[in-house]
Structure 1
Amino acid sequence: MESPVAQLSSSDLRDRLEAAVAGGMPRALADLASLVACRSVFDPRIEDPAECVRAAELTAALLTQAGVPVTPLVTPDGSLAVCGRLPRPGARRVLLYTHHDVVPVGDSSAWTSDPWTLTERDGRLYGRGAADCKGNLVAVLTALRAVTSVVGEWPVEVVVVVEGSEEQSGRGMEKLVAAQPNLAAADVIVMADTGNVTAGQPTLTTSLRGTASVRITVRTMAQSAHSGMYGGAAPDALQALLTTLASLRSPQGETTIDGLDASGVWGGAAYDPVLFRRDAAVLEGVDALGQGSIADLLWARPAATVLAIDAPATARVAAAVQGEASAIVNLRVPAGVDPVVAQGLLVAHLRAHTPYGRVEIEPFPVGRGFAARTDGPAYAAMRRAMRTAYGREPVTTGQGGSIPLTVALSELHPEAEVLLVGVEEPECHIHAVDESVDPREIETLALALALLLCDLAA
């Protein structure tokens, strides 16, 4: 018997799905408001753990109502992942991934409006998680509802995974799928946790950088020493650490870790320097770092960043030479670079460039980079779906951040095609004060996902 999808012409299917998505947007925005109200930071020191439970239960209820029976599962790190599968024997298996946890809001008084209340201003919707990643979750929900309302049955086998500790890098979901590979088995894996280079420009992310961070501690004295009595001869641990950290970058700002290649060239879409300055809020008179294109520096080369330093705060200044100082160095490496090797080079570099003192280095767990295979039928289908939904030709880009589960799933299911898409364009300011989302991005991504699910039924 001919499938319901095959009974519709491509233009009729597109028009019906577009109407269904548009008609579902009031429900989508109501769902987004409910999800944003959940303070789902997976860290009991910051938010009540009951908030993560509330977000997981709400996510499960919404997905079940959309037609995919799911249930919250406790992962090895204690977070709740929402997982489910709607079997359709013989059909392609499509996994839809996103996450329901969020980063902390920081100083809530710095926000223009309450970060836990979805608030509309000038056409954008503000709130923590409005884009990353609850906006993506709502786009998935809206696509699922549109498909069932138009087609009447699932054209593919749908698998849903909604993680609960992605922002804290708890790795609970990675361990869960490693222990239960069938939980996330699929032919096509859609990771809805990235976005477009600009609003309205359909974008497929094809590269994620890996991570290889460390904590370095320099000790020189059993205690601090008075700078008037001992300064000049006393070995200053903070100065030694600063000298070490300065060696990680050239005067032009390029990463210079001994033995680590920093000459890569990005082969995808360029990143306009003017847009970069605006997106990164670079101050007037300050230049971007490094030599090469912005895209080269962001996605094709390693980048060492000092995330934090343990040293006396200026508000508590004392005239003392420090006997101990430490810092966390975050190293991002492009796809194709082994993060274990890179971390080893970083450790050796830090030891070699510390001028004096006892050096202790604690390596953190590494995360591998990811490079998508872009020549498969699902990738072509996604390009078609995006072209139709957005009315523009899709482009490819890289992402400097990491999505650890992407690598885990691609290694568990190497034959699967992995597609990275989302609603997170630069104006969203994810992880920052006043995070927001353009509701048109939710609507258009939902249409693209609905078209993809129907296309993959062929």
Structure 2
Amino acid sequence: MDVKSALQSARERHLQELKDLLSIPSISALPAHKDDMQKAAEWMANALQKIGMENVNIMPTGGHPVVYGDWLKAEDKPTVLIYGHYDVQPVDPLDLWETPPFEADIRDGKIYARGATDDKGQVFMHIKAVEALMNTYGELPVNVKFCIEGEEEVGSPHLDEFVDQHQELLSANVLVISDNPMLEKGQPSVCYGLRGLCGLQIDVKGAKGDLHSGLYGGGVPNPLHELADLLSSMHDDKGRVSVEGFYDDVIPLSTDEKEAYDDLNYDEESLREELDVPALYGEEGYTFLERTWVRPTLEINGMHGGFQGEGTKTVLPSEASAKITCRLVPGQNPDKIMQLLEQHIERHHSHAVTVNITPFDKGKPFVTPFDHPAIQAAGDSLQHAYGVHPAYTRMGGSLPIAETFSDILDIPIVLMGFGLPTENFHAPNEHFHLENFDKGLEAICHYYNTLGETLK
């Protein structure tokens, strides 16, 4: 029996096992589900043991445990580290779910449940792919290590320390993650880079309390005016960030990458219509994909100050604040960008007010070289399973755990996800298309079957 036949014959069993996993309400953000988190970790450990993994261990952290298991008997073959997470998001609002979130329901070719696509369904696929390879050949074509954590949905607060303390245990030739969406339905994709993150809050303080605008307006500084001037100084009229030095370390897009993006023929007009905006916007001279994948940004996420109620109140507020995040690209360091932002704010704010800066999350960008054999092999495997040429993409968002592995373990990362952007992860009625469950399993098996020769 070949691997594809093995997968097909085991499909109903796989779906039942997946339903069992999805029935565990492993919500890491809610202390009331601590026992469920342990139950999910034990389920993962048992699943690894059943498929022949060795050294399976539920390893403690400062929070929820990490599940580890390996199979290291493929001599002179590369080692693949597979990352996933068993925790899920809360389910609120519950009344918007068509079926209970922890009672998996299959309808219209999709499986509905919390965690179906993010990330239980996708990490489950890697377990079943390894099982199919083991059952078919009696061994694996590569060495395999699993690292399945339970805190991704709360920011992986203990993963950095865990990876740092277990560098030798987790050492590998490539890291594979399936916790991201495909480009679109029918269009598989390999993601080889993510932007980093740098965030802060700006608080502007004027008088000791709110003032009557008729008695004091025009005579004392207005924090809202000062904040608006400060924020407007951060971009020019062509969409570029005006912070001095912001672009100094940006690594330009390669010719091959640009051609690959152009070949996607991304329909910006359809996007504009879908978003219902008069026009798209961004840094002049770049396409939408380039602006959101490979160019850095500075965005105002929120502003607050003064009277917010209905009607009018003639007040001159004493305080105003704004929250800002920058998405960073390879070459940029979040600590340096934070310093540049602080210097810009100091140079441009009025000294008639007091300005305080509070740094928020920071994360480094990462990119695996576009032509890396592990990336190209992933694309070949997707084409084998789907019958269409895959897209090679970066993503505009940030995935701190990817940067953690890249920075500490110094290994290439392949993001080969099988979810779709429309599958409601983090929202009611989360679901996973079984078409991608089936083809994704075939792609993963093909990938591991060929990776041993690819990375020699």
Q: TM-score, normalised by structure 2?
A: 0.85
Q: Tell me, yes or no, if the aligned pair for 1:96 and 1:160 is still in contact at 8 Å.
A: yes
Match of 1:188 in 2: 174
Distance in 2 (alpha carbons) for counterparts of 1:55 and 1:280: 42
Match of 1:408 in 2: 404
Match of 1:297 in 2: 291
Distance in 2 (alpha carbons) for counterparts of 1:281 and 1:114: 30
Distance in 1 (alpha carbons) for counterparts of 2:446 and 2:30: 40
Match of 2:323 in 1: 328
Q: Does residue 360 of structure 2 align to residue 364 of structure 1?
A: yes
Match of 2:66 in 1: 81
Match of 2:33 in 1: 48
Q: Letter of the 1:337 partner, please give it.
A: Q
Q: Within 5 A, what are the aligned runs for 1:250-269?
A: 250=236, 253-261=239-247, 265=253, 267=258, 268-269=260-261
Q: Give the CA deviation at 1:130.
A: 2.2
Q: Give the CA deviation at 1:210.
A: 0.9
Distance in 2 (alpha carbons) for counterparts of 1:422 and 1:389: 14
Distance in 1 (alpha carbons) for counterparts of 2:97 and 2:199: 30
State the Cα deviation string for residues 96-126 of structure 1 (Å, max 9, x = none): 1112223444544455554444344543334
Larger mean CA deviation between 181-190 and 308-317 belongs to 308-317
Q: Letter of the 1:283 partner, please give it.
A: D
State the Cα deviation string for residues 283-326 of structure 1 (Å, max 9, x = none): 25353444320111011111222334455784588834332233
Distance in 2 (alpha carbons) for counterparts of 1:315 and 1:36: 43
Q: Does residue 55 of structure 2 align to residue 60 of structure 1?
A: no
Select which of 183, 189, 196 maps to 1:197: 183
Q: Give the CA deviation at 1:360.
A: 1.1
Q: Letter of the 2:38 partner, please give it.
A: V
State the Cα deviation string for residues 107-164 of structure 1 (Å, max 9, x = none): 4445555444434454333443322222211221221221122112223221001122
Select which of 419, 438, 447 maps to 1:443: 438
In structure 2, do the counterparts of structure 1 residues 51 and 288 end up closer, same or farther at CA, with 3 Å as the change threshold?
A: farther
Match of 2:395 in 1: 399
Q: Does residue 301 of structure 2 align to residue 307 of structure 1?
A: yes
Match of 2:377 in 1: 381
Match of 1:285 in 2: 278
Distance in 1 (alpha carbons) for counterparts of 2:227 and 2:369: 41
Q: Letter of the 1:409 partner, please give it.
A: F
Distance in 1 (alpha carbons) for counterparts of 2:445 and 2:38: 29
Distance in 2 (alpha carbons) for counterparts of 1:295 and 1:403: 18
Q: Letter of the 1:62 partner, please give it.
A: A
In structure 2, do the counterparts of structure 1 residues 436 and 243 end up closer, same or farther at CA, with 3 Å as the change threshold?
A: farther
Select which of 1, 11, 15 maps to 1:25: 11
In structure 2, do the counterparts of structure 1 residues 256 and 446 end up closer, same or farther at CA, with 3 Å as the change threshold?
A: farther
Distance in 2 (alpha carbons) for counterparts of 1:127 and 1:344: 43
Q: Give the CA deviation at 1:250.
A: 4.4
3-state SS, counterpart of residue 129 of structure 1: coil
Q: Which runs of 4+ in 1 moved over 6 A?
A: none
3-state SS, counterpart of residue 28 of structure 1: helix
Q: Within 5 A, what are the aligned runs for 1:168-187?
A: 168-187=154-173
- Give the root-mean-square deviation of aligned CA atoms: 3.1
Q: Letter of the 2:267 partner, please give it.
A: V
Q: Give the CA deviation at 1:176.
A: 0.8
State the Cα deviation string for residues 402-443 of structure 1 (Å, max 9, x = none): 2223233233333x4421111133222434454432121122
Q: Tell me, yes or no, if the aligned pair for 1:131 and 1:435 is still in contact at 8 Å.
A: yes
3-state SS, counterpart of residue 154 of structure 2: coil
In structure 2, do the counterparts of structure 1 residues 230 and 336 end up closer, same or farther at CA, with 3 Å as the change threshold?
A: same
Q: Letter of the 1:285 partner, please give it.
A: P
Aligned length, in residue pairs: 441
Select which of 138, 141, 145 maps to 2:124: 138
Q: TM-score, normalised by structure 1?
A: 0.84
Distance in 1 (alpha carbons) for counterparts of 2:87 and 2:295: 29
Q: Does residue 149 of structure 2 align to residue 149 of structure 1?
A: no
Select which of 219, 236, 247 maps to 2:222: 236
Q: Tell me, yes or no, if the aligned pair for 1:31 and 1:138 is still in contact at 8 Å.
A: no
Q: Letter of the 1:81 partner, please give it.
A: V
Q: Give the CA deviation at 1:32.
A: 3.7
Select which of 347, 350, 362 maps to 1:352: 347
Q: Does residue 426 of structure 2 align to residue 426 of structure 1?
A: no
Gaps of 5+ in 2: none
Match of 1:6 in 2: none
Q: Tell me, yes or no, if the aligned pair for 1:96 and 1:158 is still in contact at 8 Å.
A: yes
Q: Tell me, yes or no, if the aligned pair for 1:261 and 1:301 is still in contact at 8 Å.
A: no
State the Cα deviation string for residues 140-191 of structure 1 (Å, max 9, x = none): 1221221122112223221001122223323411211111112211122212
Match of 2:195 in 1: 209
Q: Tell me, yes or no, if the aligned pair for 2:71 and 2:143 is still in contact at 8 Å.
A: yes
